[in-house]
């Protein structure tokens, strides 16, 4: 204690203590000033930045619209699925007090290759390339700014994958997330593969061209309906905002200010449903008829309306396959397959129509006033012209126009071509009038135009020879057409000369059943004034093909209904031989030396309700390979039609529930379906009353009443329930004058 | 009567002599600090905060004991305690607990204790004793500085070696403040500052750890490192700014409760506090700390003797530097260091040491009018 100094020692300290007080006050002022700057003056700026931290706005995907057949059976629908999201540059939160590691906290550390590999080990890949693509997608984003956001790296996880990732999720880290999503499902599989098409991940080019309306990883329609109606099917994604923490995890009980700062949610608008004119049953019958044919196509349309009721191309790839990654080997196998499974043979590829084209030649010939269809030409089995010999199938002897069609005599048409009754110009005129050489307007699967030769075209191609005219007359040479075009052509013959625009979409509705768009039959070109009388001759010839003993398809005739049609055998086998490609393909039944087989038909012959065209690639002779297929389809279509009380109608509203089907169909039937023009969104179908009771039309509500009403009609196949049927019938009055013997009425 | 009257008079004596200004300020600061610590933690008064409260209780008892003692007892014990503290520091590299690449802790049963925190107080006491023992009128010579410099450089060297640069810096600053108040001429203060800056530059260029160097870069331009090293700085500023004038409310700060702000309980509690209490609350707590420091400096000028005055200066500057450097760091006025803010940061040893300091202030305050 003695060493302690007296208080006067303290006096020396005072000036410096006062200086220290000043320092403290100065420091306080500085801190308060800075605090004021950050909190009061610049506060708003930091509030916004805080919001950017915790507000996570995610796109709420819209459920894609479904696709239904004419009976309301789903052809494309959605199933719940899981999508894997990865954040390639996640935040790292190190629980440590170490000064070195401490500076790492909250920083964004790109995923290591080992981490990506560990994740890849949990995913089932179809091959090494698939895995490479998976890791490359993560690595690519890892080095970019957008790597801080989660992105969908793999959709449609299998249950095994889902379970595996879910169990390892916590161990791997916060950069993994599995979100619920929807996957596309095609219940009919490859049966409707080319009609529905399929969805797949958007390409980088498509993304760049979409002007921001798509996001990476979005699935878009690639082919078929999925592509054509993409804008209707996709809907509009909504936006949901949520409060997330630093790990990007949603917060259960966020602070009230955070909730108040969230932007309002926008609900997703689900896509609109597409209802097709296609009949799945008929499609299946067609596919079964094609069972032993490796490649070919079939189109069935209603001649009066242009509605497509069956549209089949074989082989096809099950569109469900595209919902999973496809191995490089598998893809290579498909793209190199001689059967070309990617090609829609109904519209995408065009072929020599062969003898089915003879109706065009016949109509063109009839247009020449000097031409006498009754005059016979003697067929010796060949004709010489320009130093070349043009062959026929065999010696037909004397034939007139009708017999030339019935027996498919080439020499008859060669002779007309030599006599210049059939000039290229005239044939081209009629071919074009009948819809060949231009797209039918169905608008799916990159439709081909086909080719109709003109002299200018031949000159340009350097293929013009005098014989071209002869070959063109029988559907060879440079004449090509798609299967759908031939169907439209025969529909025009069947309905009295109206070239219809074929359509496969009946209507589009919103999910709550409001009509968005209704297709109606469209006449593309009305040829009635051009060929009223001529049609009857052609018609007689086509009826003879099946019903005359000399007819090429006589052996295939049906007992129940009179069918009119034309066989075709496009001589490609010979061509291939010439091209030194005579080796038969390795696929059984797909022999390159064989010709393409065609059969185009309509039935019943006196009042056609259906046109069916079948094309069998390298199938051989049309009558043997293609005609039986067509007959099966016709038989099924007309058979089911006369037997079942509910006929197919264009306006049938498919029911949401199986129990409602009957009511719905009758309701739809009673509505003036064909008169419905393209309606605006919000207009309601007259028969569209899913919740209300059926209208009191007793004679139409019961199956028995229906039959009773329709049975007195002269042709049972032609149901009186269609109003639109009245118009074509009246137009055909003149045609029925020369109707062939009507013993075809159903038993 | 006497047997009854004595304790009454003792009680009265204590109550009358207690410095209620200090008690009120500290109680207020500790209460706010505990609310904030709970907010920065789990929010249900569990976990780290319970340990902190236990240490605070221990510290309060220690403060009461120190306050009730005559501080001249400290004068007698100062050197022995200082040597004991050095001994504990010397034990740390030998039997200390390794945590996150640093050996700073000694284990006492369930408690872990940092001798470096206690050393802050012991160093103040020892320096105060040495400087008050020397006659104040004696001429200032450079050689007189050798002993006090050794007195603080030895423990600082041990502490920095742990490594714990922050505590080393604080000890040096406090010791230099005491020296600047007593021994150093204005010229030598300027000279010291110059050498300090030069040494810092040299150290930055040659000796500093990379993380320490990059902190300066980050401090000058945090946005360029927003996703890595600058993250804490930026998030702390966002937190402070997000508080606005009135604050978001306790447990309602998004930066804190959603974990965007790291180290809300150690390095950045002030950012948590500023977000939830706003400018109003933050300014209030800064003024309370400043009042405590200024009150301590006032006690120094009224102290009974030089020893008591230097104790007050040491404890006041200890609080001053802790608060100033930590808040400066949060507000991006200073680079990020590990220097904590008293009572707001978790850390049992620190709370205990700070409470001891408060006890010393109370003790000096109690005897300030009893001259001689």
pLDDT, tens only, B125-142: 999 999 888 766 666 677
Residues in chain B within 8 Å Cβ distance of A246: 258-260
Q: Which residues contact A535 (CB under 8 A, 6 or more apart)?
A: A493, A496, A497, A735
Largest CA distance in chain B: 76
3-state secondary structure of A42: coil
* B252 closest CB neighbour out of A35, A54, A257: A257
Quick one: DSSP state of residue A99? H
pLDDT-derived band of residue B291, with 50, 70 and 90 as boundaries? Answer: very high
Residue A88 exposed, middle or buried by CB count within 10 Å (0-12, 13-18, 19+): buried
Q: Which residue has the higher pLDDT, A531 or B77?
A: B77
User: Can you state the angle between helices A358-366 and A532-547, rounded to 10 degrees?
Assistant: 140
pLDDT-derived band of residue A687, with 50, 70 and 90 as boundaries? Answer: very low
Q: Which residue has the higher pLDDT, A277 or A684?
A: A277
List the one residue out of B364, B362, B367 whose CA is nearest residue B62. B362
Nearest CA in chain A to B329: A31
> Is 90 exceeded by the pLDDT of residue A182?
no
What DSSP element (H or E) covers A58? strand A55-60
Question: CB distance B244–A103 less than 8 Å?
Answer: no
Average pLDDT value for residue range B146-173: 91
Residues in chain B within 8 Å Cβ distance of A87: none
- CA dist A297 and A655 (Å) reads 30
Average pLDDT value for residue range B327-341: 90
> Is 80 exceeded by the pLDDT of residue A529?
no
Q: What is the pLDDT of residue A568?
A: 85
φ, ψ at A663 (rounded to 5°): -60, -50
Distance of CA B222 to the CA centre of its chain: 27
Q: What is the pLDDT of residue A546?
A: 85
3-state secondary structure A657-680: CHHHHHHHHHHHHHCCHHHCCCCC
Q: Which of A79-88, A643-652, B324-333 has the lowest mean pLDDT?
A: A643-652
Residue whose token pair is 């800056």: B197
Q: What is the pLDDT of residue A137?
A: 87
- CA dist A685 and A155 (Å) reads 37
Per-residue pLDDT of A57-81, as tens digits, reads: 888 888 899 999 988 899 999 988 8
Pairing status of strand A67-68 against strand A273-276: parallel
> Is 60 exceeded by the pLDDT of residue A649?
no
Q: Which residue has the higher pLDDT, A528 or A377?
A: A377
Average pLDDT value for residue range B281-286: 96
Question: CB distance A96–B75 less than 8 Å?
Answer: no
Per-residue pLDDT of A124-151, as tens digits, reads: 888 888 888 888 888 888 877 777 788 8
pLDDT-derived band of residue B155, with 50, 70 and 90 as boundaries? Answer: very high
How big is the CA angle at B338 (ends B336 and B341), to the nearest 5 degrees? 100
Q: What is the CATH number of domain A80-184?
A: 3.30.70
Contact at 8 Å (CB) between B263 and B232?
A: yes
Contact at 8 Å (CB) between A316 and A190?
A: yes
- Residue spans per domain, chain B: 19-366
pLDDT-derived band of residue B370, with 50, 70 and 90 as boundaries? Answer: low
| Alpha-carbon distances, residue A140 vs A538, A597, A606, B268 (angstroms) | 65, 51, 66, 36
Q: What is the pLDDT of residue B281?
A: 95
3-state secondary structure of A553: coil
What DSSP element (H or E) covers A79? strand A74-86
> Is 90 exceeded by the pLDDT of residue A353?
no
pLDDT-derived band of residue A729, with 50, 70 and 90 as boundaries? Answer: very low
Q: Which residue has the higher pLDDT, A165 or A104?
A: A165
- Residue spans per domain, chain A: 80-184, 280-314+336-508+520-643
Looking at the DSSP assignment, which residues form a beta bridge with residue B107?
Answer: B112
List the one residue out of A34, A625, A505 whose CA is nearest residue B236. A34
Residues in chain B within 8 Å Cβ distance of A21: 294, 297
| Alpha-carbon distances, residue A498 vs A479, A480, A526, A563 (angstroms) | 22, 21, 4, 20
Chain B closest CA to A129's CA: distance in Å?
A: 33
Contacts A–B by Cβ distance under 8 A: 216
List the one residue out of A44, A67, A357 whose CA is nearest residue A198. A67
* B240 closest CB neighbour out of A39, A98, A106: A39
Residue A604 preceded by cis peptide, ω within 30 = yes
H helix intervals, A213-354:
224-228, 230-233, 256-261, 280-289, 328-336
Percent of chain B with pLDDT over 70: 91
H helix intervals, A462-554:
468-473, 483-495, 532-547
Q: What is the pLDDT of residue A663?
A: 36
Contact at 8 Å (CB) between B212 and A100?
A: no
> Is 90 exceeded by the pLDDT of residue A338?
no
Q: What is the pLDDT of residue A711?
A: 35
Chain B closest CA to A265's CA: distance in Å?
A: 20
Chain B closest CA to A56's CA: distance in Å?
A: 13
Structure tokens at A618: 């390298």
- Could you tell me the sign of the dihedral formed by the alpha carbons of A528, A532, A537, A543, in that order? positive
pLDDT-derived band of residue B63, with 50, 70 and 90 as boundaries? Answer: very high
H helix intervals, A397-507:
401-407, 410-418, 424-433, 455-461, 468-473, 483-495
Contact at 8 Å (CB) between A322 and A200?
A: yes
Contact at 8 Å (CB) between A377 and A359?
A: no
Question: CB distance A107–B231 less than 8 Å?
Answer: yes
Q: Which of A28-37, A435-444, B328-337 has the lowest mean pLDDT?
A: A435-444
Chain A closest CA to B9's CA: distance in Å?
A: 26
Question: CB distance A9–B136 less than 8 Å?
Answer: yes
Nearest CA in chain B to A99: B338
Report the range out of A345-349, B27-31, B100-104 with the highest average pLDDT.
Answer: B27-31
Question: CB distance A10–B294 less than 8 Å?
Answer: no
Q: What is the pLDDT of residue A533?
A: 65
Q: What is the pLDDT of residue A714?
A: 39
Pick the CATH number of A280-314+336-508+520-643 from 1.20.1740.10, 3.40.50.150, 3.40.50.1820, 3.40.710.10: 3.40.710.10
End-to-end CA distance of chain B: 31
Q: What is the pLDDT of residue A532?
A: 60
What DSSP element (H or E) covers B77? helix B72-95
Contact at 8 Å (CB) between A487 and A346?
A: no
Question: CB distance A106–B254 less than 8 Å?
Answer: no
Pairing status of strand A596-603 against strand A273-276: unpaired
Average pLDDT value for residue range A689-708: 37
Chain B closest CA to A6's CA: distance in Å?
A: 6
pLDDT-derived band of residue A738, with 50, 70 and 90 as boundaries? Answer: very low
Residues in chain A within 8 Å Cβ distance of B274: 35, 39
H helix intervals, B96-209:
115-133, 146-160, 165-182, 186-202
- CA dist B365 and B359 (Å) reads 10
Percent of chain A with pLDDT over 90: 16
Per-residue pLDDT of B224-271, as tens digits, reads: 777 777 888 899 999 999 999 999 999 888 888 888 888 888 889 999
Question: CB distance A258–B227 less than 8 Å?
Answer: no
Looking at the DSSP assignment, which residues form a beta bridge with residue A569?
Answer: A597
Long-range contacts of B20-27 (CB under 8 A, 24+ apart): B21/B291, B21/B295, B22/B292, B22/B295, B22/B358, B22/B361, B22/B362, B22/B365, B23/B362, B25/B288, B25/B291, B25/B292, B25/B295, B26/B292, B26/B358
- CA dist B163 and B211 (Å) reads 13
Residues in chain B within 8 Å Cβ distance of A50: 238-239, 241-242, 254-255, 260
Average pLDDT value for residue range A151-166: 86
Q: Which of A342-346, B9-13, B102-106 has the lowest mean pLDDT?
A: B9-13
pLDDT-derived band of residue A619, with 50, 70 and 90 as boundaries? Answer: confident
List the one residue out of B145, B150, B155, B148 whose CA is nearest residue B128. B148
pLDDT-derived band of residue A721, with 50, 70 and 90 as boundaries? Answer: very low
Q: What is the pLDDT of residue A4?
A: 47
pLDDT-derived band of residue A741, with 50, 70 and 90 as boundaries? Answer: very low
Question: CB distance B181–A20 less than 8 Å?
Answer: yes
Average pLDDT value for residue range A508-533: 83
- CA dist A79 and A183 (Å) reads 5
Q: Which residue has the higher pLDDT, B283 or A468?
A: B283
Contact at 8 Å (CB) between A279 and A254?
A: no
Residues in chain B within 8 Å Cβ distance of A31: 286, 324, 327-328, 331, 333
* B327 closest CB neighbour out of A31, A53, A99: A31
For chain B, the 3-state helix, strand and coil shares in percent, each to the nearest 5, are 75, 5, 25
Q: What is the pLDDT of residue A709?
A: 36
* B237 closest CB neighbour out of A38, A97, A257: A38
Average pLDDT value for residue range A322-330: 84
* A4 closest CB neighbour out of B132, B245, B266: B132
- CA dist A482 and A437 (Å) reads 9
CB-side neighbour CA atoms (13 Å) of A321: 14
Q: Which of A543-557, A581-595, A726-740 has the lowest mean pLDDT?
A: A726-740
Average pLDDT of chain A, as a whole number: 77
Q: What is the pLDDT of residue A536?
A: 79
Q: Which of A14-23, A417-426, A630-639, B137-146 has the lowest mean pLDDT?
A: B137-146
Nearest CA in chain B to A98: B100
Residues in chain B within 8 Å Cβ distance of A45: 241
Per-residue pLDDT of A275-305, as tens digits, reads: 999 999 999 999 998 888 888 899 999 999 9
């Amino acid at each position: 204690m003695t060493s302690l100094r007296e208080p006067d020692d303290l006096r020396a300290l005072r000036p410096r203590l006062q200086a220290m007080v000043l320092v403290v006050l100065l420091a306080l002022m500085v801190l308060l000033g800075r605090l004021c700057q950050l909190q009061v003056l610049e506060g708003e700026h930091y509030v916004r930045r805080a919001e950017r931290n915790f507000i996570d706005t995610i796109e709420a995907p819209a459920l894609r619209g479904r696709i239904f057949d004419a009976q309301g059976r789903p052809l494309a629908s959605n199933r719940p699925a899981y999508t894997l999201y990865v954040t390639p540059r996640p935040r790292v939160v190190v629980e440590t007090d170490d000064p070195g590691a401490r500076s790492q906290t909250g920083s964004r550390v790109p995923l290591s290759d080992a981490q990506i590999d560990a994740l890849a080990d949990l995913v089932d890949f179809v091959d090494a390339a698939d895995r490479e693509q998976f890791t490359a997608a993560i690595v690519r984003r890892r080095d970019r700014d957008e790597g801080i956001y989660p992105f969908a790296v793999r959709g449609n996880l299998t249950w095994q994958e889902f379970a595996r990732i879910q169990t390892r999720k916590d161990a791997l880290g916060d950069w993994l997330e599995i979100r619920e999503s929807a996957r596309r499902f095609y219940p009919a599989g490859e049966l409707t593969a080319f009609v529905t098409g399929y969805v797949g991940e958007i390409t980088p080019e498509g993304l760049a061209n979409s002007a921001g309306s798509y996001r990476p990883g979005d699935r878009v329609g690639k082919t078929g309906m999925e592509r054509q109606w993409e804008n209707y099917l996709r809907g509009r994604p909504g936006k949901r905002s949520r409060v997330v923490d630093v790990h990007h995890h949603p917060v259960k009980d966020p602070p009230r200010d955070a909730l108040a700062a969230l932007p309002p949610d926008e609900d997703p608008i689900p896509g609109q449903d597409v209802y097709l004119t296609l009949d799945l049953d008929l499609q299946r019958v067609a596919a079964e008829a094609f069972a032993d044919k490796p490649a070919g196509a079939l189109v069935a349309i209603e001649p009066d309306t242009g509605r497509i009721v069956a549209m089949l191309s074989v082989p096809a790839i099950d569109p469900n396959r595209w919902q999973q990654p496809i191995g490089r080997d598998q893809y290579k196998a498909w793209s190199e397959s001689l059967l070309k499974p990617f090609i829609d043979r109904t519209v995408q590829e065009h072929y020599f129509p062969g003898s089915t084209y003879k109706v065009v030649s016949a109509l063109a010939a009839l247009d020449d006033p000097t031409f006498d269809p009754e005059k016979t030409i003697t067929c010796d089995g060949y004709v010489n012209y320009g130093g070349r010999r043009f062959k026929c199938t065999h010696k037909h002897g004397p034939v007139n126009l009708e017999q030339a069609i019935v027996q498919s005599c080439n020499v008859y048409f060669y002779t007309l071509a030599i006599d210049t009754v059939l000039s290229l110009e005239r044939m081209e005129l009629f071919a074009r009038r009948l819809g060949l050489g231009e797209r039918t307007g169905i608008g799916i699967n990159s439709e081909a135009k086909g080719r109709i030769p003109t002299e200018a075209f031949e000159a340009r191609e350097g293929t013009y020879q005098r014989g071209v005219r002869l070959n063109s007359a029988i559907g060879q040479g440079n004449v090509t057409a798609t299967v759908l075009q031939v169907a439209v052509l025969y529909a025009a013959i069947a309905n009295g000369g109206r070239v219809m625009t074929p359509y496969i979409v009946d209507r589009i509705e919103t999910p709550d059943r409001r009509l968005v768009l209704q297709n109606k039959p469209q006449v593309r070109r009305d040829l009635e004034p051009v060929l009223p009388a001529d049609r009857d001759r052609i018609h007689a010839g086509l009826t003879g093909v099946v019903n005359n003993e000399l007819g090429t398809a006589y052996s295939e005739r049906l007992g129940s209904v009179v069918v009119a049609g034309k066989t075709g055998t496009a001589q490609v086998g010979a061509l291939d031989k010439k091209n030194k490609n005579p080796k038969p393909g390795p696929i059984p039944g797909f022999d390159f030396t064989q010709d393409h087989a065609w059969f185009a038909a309509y039935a019943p012959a006196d009042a056609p309700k259906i046109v069916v065209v079948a094309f069998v690639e390298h199938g051989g002779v049309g009558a043997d390979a293609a005609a039986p297929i067509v007959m099966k389809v016709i038989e099924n279509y007309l058979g089911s039609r006369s037997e079942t009380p509910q006929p197919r109608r264009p306006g049938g509203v498919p029911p949401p529930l199986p129990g409602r089907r009957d009511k719905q169909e009758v309701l739809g039937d009673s509505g003036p379906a064909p008169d419905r023009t393209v309606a605006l969104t919000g207009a309601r179908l007259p028969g569209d009353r899913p919740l209300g009771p059926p209208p009191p039309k007793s004679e139409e509500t019961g199956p028995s009443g229906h039959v009773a009403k329709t049975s007195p009609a002269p042709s049972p196949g032609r149901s009186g329930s269609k109003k639109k049927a009245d118009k074509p019938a009246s137009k055909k009055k003149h045609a029925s004058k020369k109707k062939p013997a009507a013993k075809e009425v159903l038993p | 009567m006497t047997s009854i009257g004595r304790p009454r008079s003792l009680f009265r004596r204590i109550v009358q002599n207690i410095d209620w200004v200090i008690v009120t300020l500290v109680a207020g600061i500790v209460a706010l600090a505990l609310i904030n610590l709970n907010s920065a933690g789990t929010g249900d008064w569990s976990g780290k905060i319970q340990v902190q409260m236990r240490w605070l209780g221990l510290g309060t008892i220690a403060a009461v004991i120190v306050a009730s003692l005559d501080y001249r007892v400290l004068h007698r014990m100062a050197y022995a305690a200082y040597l004991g503290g050095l001994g504990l520091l010397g034990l740390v590299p030998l039997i200390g607990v390794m945590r996150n690449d640093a050996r700073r802790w000694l284990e006492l049963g369930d408690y872990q204790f940092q001798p470096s925190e206690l050393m802050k107080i012991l160093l103040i006491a020892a320096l105060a004793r040495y400087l008050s023992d020397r006659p104040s009128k004696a001429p200032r010579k450079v050689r007189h500085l050798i002993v006090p410099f050794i007195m603080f450089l030895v423990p600082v060297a041990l502490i920095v070696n742990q490594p714990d640069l922050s505590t080393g810096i604080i000890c040096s600053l406090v010791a230099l403040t005491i020296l600047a108040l007593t021994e150093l001429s204005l010229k030598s203060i300027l000279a010291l500052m110059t050498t300090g800056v030069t040494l810092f530059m040299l150290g930055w260029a040659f000796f500093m750890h990379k993380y320490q160097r990059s902190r300066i870069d980050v401090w000058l331009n945090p946005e360029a490192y927003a996703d890595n090293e600058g993250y804490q700085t930026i998030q702390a500023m966002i937190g402070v700014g997000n508080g606005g004038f009135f604050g978001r409310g306790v447990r309602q700060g998004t930066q804190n409760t959603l974990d965007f702000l790291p180290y809300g309980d150690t390095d950045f509690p002030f950012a948590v506090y500023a977000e939830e209490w706003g400018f109003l609350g933050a300014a209030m707590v800064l003024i309370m700390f400043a009042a405590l420091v200024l009150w301590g400096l006032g006690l120094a000028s009224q102290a009974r003797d030089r020893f008591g005055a230097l104790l007050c200066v040491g404890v006041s500057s200890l609080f001053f530097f802790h608060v100033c450097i930590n808040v400066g760091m949060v507000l991006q006025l200073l680079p990020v260091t590990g220097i904590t803010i008293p009572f707001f940061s978790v850390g049992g040893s620190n709370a205990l040491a700070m409470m001891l300091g408060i006890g010393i202030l109370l003790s000096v305050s109690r005897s300030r009018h009893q001259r001689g």
